[in-house]
Amino acid sequence: MASSFSDPIGFRVYSGYGRRLNKVDPELDQLEKTHAIYWINGIVIGSDLVFYLNKAKSCGLGLKYQIMHSQGSSMMDIHSNMGRLEDKVNISYLGPVFSQRFTLNEGQNVLMYNIGMGWLFYDWRGEINKAKGNMSGQTIGATLDINYSRMIKKKLAVGVDLSLTTGALSSYDTFDGVKRITVQLENNKKEGLTHMGLSLQLLYKF
């Protein structure tokens, strides 16, 4: 029979669908709004390592890393000429988390939540008619995971995870292949990085 969730260390990996929740700029033209679908939807991949410290092994501290990746390619109106825009966007989170887990069904199932605050990193790389550019920045972000797992082997469980990551850039660095500049954004023009994820997960207990 599979063991219960009583081990002091938990390592989790997960992957699934990700979606950015910030609104599309209404000033974009229709082609740009259509292209925005590519960077709104993507995949999330993440992992965390948690050490459960109390006697019941239900509360712990750990470290989490997660990345949301999206990319797309579209024909765009560039200076009254049609050209192809190809871009890739990565939003990653790194930081500590507090974790609490609740065991069910005599320890065979577990409901868990993780909450934390750390760093959000933004990286955009694009190419317009073979002219390359990139934007990057970082800010403070927050994360929340709620997940449910079931033991399938002595040390291994499978489950589902719902995650929310929030944050917004107030500035970013941009490079057009010639020079790099820092752009400051007004409060109503901040680059929203908030996104959610729905994933399948594997949990290994030490």
Tens of pLDDT, residue by residue over 157-204, are 999 999 999 999 999 998 766 778 889 988 878 889 999 999 999 999
User: In sequence order, which residues have a C-beta less than 8 Å from that of residue 34 and are 6 or more positions away?
Assistant: 74
Burial of 49 (0-12, 13-18, 19+ CB in 10 A): middle
- Mean pLDDT along residues 62-77: 88
pLDDT of residue 29: 66
Terminal-residue alpha carbon distance, the chain = 17
pLDDT per residue over 5-39, tens digit each? 677 899 999 999 999 998 877 777 676 777 778 88
> How is 164-201 classified by DSSP, letter by letter?
EEE-EESEEEEE-SS-EEEEE--GGG-EE--EEEEEEE
Given this model, what pLDDT does residue 78 score? 60
Predicted local confidence at residue 5, as pLDDT: 65
Q: 73: buried, middle or exposed (CB in 10 Å: 19+, 13-18, 0-12)? A: exposed
Residue 79 — left, alpha, or beta (φ > 0 → left; ψ -120 to 50 → alpha)? Answer: left
pLDDT at 1: 41
Q: Does the pLDDT of residue 57 top 90, yes or no?
A: no
In the numeric block, which tokens belong to residue 85? 């825009």
Distance CA 19, CA 44 (A): 9
**Mind listing the pLDDT tens digit for each residue in 116-126?**
999 999 999 88
Query: Of 10, 14, 106, 100, which is closest to residue 51 (Cα–Cα)?
Result: 10
Whole-structure pTM over 0.85, yes or no? yes
Whether residue 97 contacts residue 59, with contact meaning beta carbons closer than 8 Å, is answered with: no
Q: To which residue do tokens 């594997």 refer?
A: 202
Rounded mean pLDDT of the chain? Answer: 87
Q: What is the pLDDT of residues 74-127, one digit of tens each?
A: 776 665 566 677 889 999 999 999 999 998 887 789 999 999 999 999 999 888
Residue pLDDT, tens place only, 143-156: 999 999 999 988 89
Q: Which residue has the tokens 């974009």?
A: 28
